Amino acid sequence: MGKTIVEKILGSHAGRDVCPGDIVDVAIDARVARDFGGANVVKNIRDHGLPIADPARTCFTFDCNPGGSDQNYAKNQQICRVFAREHGIKVHDIDAGIGTHLAIDEGLVGPGETFVSTDSHANILGAIGAFGQGMGDQDIAHAFAHGTVWFKVPPTVKVILEGKPAAVARPKDVALAVTKHFGANGLLGSAAEVYGTYVDELGIAGRATLTSMCTEMGGIIMLFPPNETVIEHCRRATGREVTPVYADADATYTDTITVNIDGLGPMAARPGHPDDVVPVAEVAGTKVDSVFIGSCTNGRYEDFAAAAGVLKGRKIAPGVVLKVVPATDAIWRRLLDDGLVTVFKDAGALFGNAGCAGCAAGQIGQNGPGETTVSTGNRNFPGKQGKGAVYLASPETAAASAVAGVIATADTIPDGSATVECAGPCAGRKAARAEARGSSVGSTSKAEARPTKVSGRAWVIPQDNIDTDMIYHNRYLAITDPAEMGQYAFDNLEGWEDFSTKCQPGDIIITGKNFGCGSSRQQAVDCFKTLGVTVLVAESFGAIYERNAINAGMPIMYGPVGGGGIQDGEEVEVDFATGVIRRTNGDAIAGTPFSDAQLTIYQRGGLLGGGGN
């Protein structure tokens, strides 16, 4: 039977043939911790007395808050620097840029290889046909220490982009259209392979834009078969010959989905949801207060060249703030050498050093209450980039909106905009049992067994797609002490801001689909552990959130649609071993029991609970 790209990559790094649903130990070619998650990785390694498997394959990237403008970020960065010096680990410090793009441009990995990071958009590596995955602090600590992590092989969906977008459209417009097609959880738990004549012509910048949005569709990774342009870039970056991986002609996909992009024009995602996408024409004329161009999604040279083409000879509108942040220092320098920095500065932009900017709440890019922003980022969840409203759009639409003072496209900037003289982009899941034994999941701790059946008061939250910013807002990311995290649980979820004051130890949370979508932050799990929540029951979970919870020993369980009729405040019993949820009236509701791997990790108190393997 033929194999998909992700099956081939994971299989080669597991040393055996794999199928979707298999749980295997995967060798990781490059393992990275960022500045907010890095300190927790270091803490886990020190607390458990773990080694560093291979310093040459291990590094830190300071991209969330490169300037260390927040005292907690400054502290965390210094913790990582000291640890790196002790163990001979490379630090891509505050002048370097976003870790995922450094991985591509500095040759940390090539096509067919594996990369993990505390960045939920590590799947950008799919742009070069590599496997990248965002993971939590314990996962990355395990990768640092042992060079491997456990992973469930995902099923693969084949996506065909049919047709060719209009000349005014950019890869971000296509990415937004695909996000609209799949919605917030349409690729939940799956890998995607993307094909089509449009894809064949895309370089790394366009591919990175598309695959970075895969996280916002619930996907594991969006993989692009490398073309010659990508292969040559990776040869130069790695300094060696690379071996691209392609799917077999008889590979098995769970589905083949065609997305029609023929004639597609500029698109925008309305505030609050990356998948709430409409043609820009439907929101054109909306007053704009600020514009951000950058992020891992649109922070490459091609993105800024496209925006500069709109800005050249023009000034941003009075009262509008334009913030520009390249993805890496190398891109920054190229923009400087080519005179594009001058174009942005002459237009009136604030030009920042390389990094994540507003997306991570730690650099420039934040907005205030009542402020409307057009951003080239990948997320516009409430509170993600500040207290204002965020529209997602392409670099050209963002630049045009900055000039017009209202949402506009490059070809619809109103006449009379200010100008200036200036200088010179195996179907389905199956339960994995035997494979989990003897893997990085480890053996059960000899300590007293943890209960596999719990009872408690139910908190029923009938909402889908509760993201990690709603669970644990990014303004608290620098907190590393779990004891401090519980007080912030759900304080950015409308109607549930006071949850931490009402929750009691032993309580149970029951909610909808795709719980924990969004970023890779471990705090969104640990806050519930601090409060004493005994189990999270959801119709489905975000892929990174699911493994973060399992690795932390936090019980999570797939439950019934609509909560099975359970009422808020009702006492229920949840059996992890059988998956049965029993109501006060005696009714039994079927959930999904823990797999052997999950139960083993739970019993030992977490992935690292036994002190490593």
Q: What angle do CA 132, 136, 138 make, to 5 degrees?
A: 115
Cite the beta strand spans of 106-240 per DSSP E: 114-117, 131-134, 148-152, 156-162, 191-195, 221-223
Residue 505 CA, chain-centre distance (Å), reads 30
User: Is the Cβ–Cβ distance between 467 and 518 less than 8 Å?
Assistant: yes
Helix axis angle for 35-47 and 137-146, nearest 10°, is 60
Dihedral of alpha carbons 519, 523, 525, 527, sign: negative
- 3-class DSSP assignment, residue 290: strand
SS3 (DSSP) at 277: strand
pLDDT at residue 85 above 50?
yes
Q: For position 424, what pLDDT does the model report?
A: 35
**Which pLDDT score, from 0 to 100, does residue 70 have?**
74
Residue 274 has pLDDT above 50, yes or no: yes
Instruction: Give residues with Cβ within 8 angstroms of 473, minimum separation 6.
Output: 383, 488, 491, 492
> What is the model's pLDDT at position 500?
96
φ, ψ of residue 481 to 5 degrees: the values are -90, 110
Mean local confidence (pLDDT), 288-303:
95
How far apart CA 322 and CA 294 sit, in angstroms, is 11
Sign of dihedral through CA atoms 84, 88, 90, 95? positive
- Classify residue 512 by burial, with Cβ atoms within 10 Å: 0-12, 13-18, 19+: buried
Residue 416: pLDDT band (50, 70, 90) is low
Q: Are 145 and 163 in contact (CB under 8 A)?
A: no
Is 90 exceeded by the pLDDT of residue 559? yes
Cα–Cα dist 103/82, whole Å: 22
Mean pLDDT score, 62-82: 85
What are 151-162's pLDDT values in tens digits?
999 999 999 999
Average pLDDT over residues 343-367: 84
Q: Do domains 267-404 and 443-603 have the same CATH topology?
A: no
What's the CA gap between 397 and 409, in Å, rounded? 5
CB within 8 A of 201, min separation 6: which ones? none
In 3-state terms, the chain is what percent helix, strand and coil (to 5)?
35, 20, 45
Architecture of the CATH domain 443-603: Alpha-Beta Barrel (3.20)
- CATH assignment, 5-260: 3.30.499.10
Q: Is 430 left (phi over 0), alpha (psi -120 to 50) or beta?
A: beta
pTM across the whole model: 0.83
Percent of the chain with pLDDT over 70: 93
Cα first-last separation, the chain = 34
Q: Looking at residues 267-292, what average pLDDT do you find?
A: 96
Residue 421 pLDDT? 38
Q: Are 581 and 537 in contact (CB under 8 A)?
A: yes
DSSP letters along 514-551, please? TBTBS---THHHHHHHHHT--EEEES-B-HHHHHHHHH
Sheet containing 372-375: give its strands across. Answer: 277-279, 267-269, 389-392, 372-375, 290-294, 321-325, 350-351
∠ at Cα 222 (246, 200), nearest 5°? 55
Task: Determine the average pLDDT of the residues in 484-500.
Answer: 95
User: Are the C-beta atoms of residues 155 and 428 closer than 8 Å to each other?
Assistant: yes
Does the pLDDT of residue 514 top 80, yes or no? yes
pLDDT at position 477, please? 83
CATH of 267-404, one of 3.40.190.10, 3.40.47.10, 3.30.499.10, 2.60.260.20: 3.30.499.10
| Residue 534 or 428, more confident | 534
Q: Are 342 and 324 in contact (CB under 8 A)?
A: no
State the number of CA atoms in the 13 A half-sphere of 378 facing the CB.
29
The answer to which of 39-48, 60-69, 274-283 has the lowest mean pLDDT is 60-69
Instruction: Tell me what pLDDT residue 511 has.
Output: 96
pLDDT for 613 beyond 70: no
Quick one: pLDDT band at residue 383, thresholds 50, 70, 90? confident
- Condensed to tens digits (0 to 9), the pLDDT of residues 172-201 reads 999 999 999 999 999 999 999 999 999 999
- Mean pLDDT is lowest, of 84-93, 321-330, 399-408, 438-447, for 438-447
Average pLDDT, the chain: 91
pLDDT at residue 361 in the model: 59
CB 522 within 8 A of CB 544: no
What does the pLDDT read at residue 311?
97
CB neighbour list of residue 416: distance below 8 Å, 6 or more residues apart: none
Q: Is the pLDDT of residue 427 over 80?
A: no
Domains of the chain, by residue range, sit at: 5-260, 267-404, 443-603
Name residue 393's amino acid.
Answer: A
**Structure confidence at residue 438 (pLDDT):** 38
**Residue 275: is its pLDDT beyond 70?**
yes
Read off the pLDDT of residues 238-265 as tens digits, 9 standing for 90 and up: 999 999 999 999 999 999 999 999 999 9
How does 94-130 read in b/e, with b if 16+ C-beta sit within 10 Å? bebbbbbbbbbbbbbbbbbbbbbbbbbbbbbbbbbbb
For residue 216, give the amino acid letter.
Answer: E
Which of 65, 59, 62, 64 lies closest to 32, judged by CA?
59
**Tens digit of each residue's pLDDT (9 = 90 or more) over 433-486:** 333 333 444 444 444 589 999 999 999 999 999 999 999 998 888 788 889 999
Indicate the range of 114-123, 145-154, 307-316, 355-364 predicted with least confidence.
Answer: 355-364
Q: Do 129 and 230 form a contact (C-beta atoms < 8 A)?
A: yes
The better pLDDT of the pair 386, 567 is held by: 567
pLDDT at 448: 58
In angstroms, rounded to a whole number, what is the distance separating the alpha carbons of residues 584 and 581?
10
Q: Is 83 helix (H, G, I), strand (E, B) or coil?
A: helix
If you compute the radius of gyration of the chain from its CA atoms, what whole number of angstroms results? 23
268 three-class SS: strand
Question: What is residue 417's predicted lDDT score, i.e. its pLDDT?
Answer: 58
Tokens of 449: 């067994």
* Tokens standing for residue 229: 């342009």
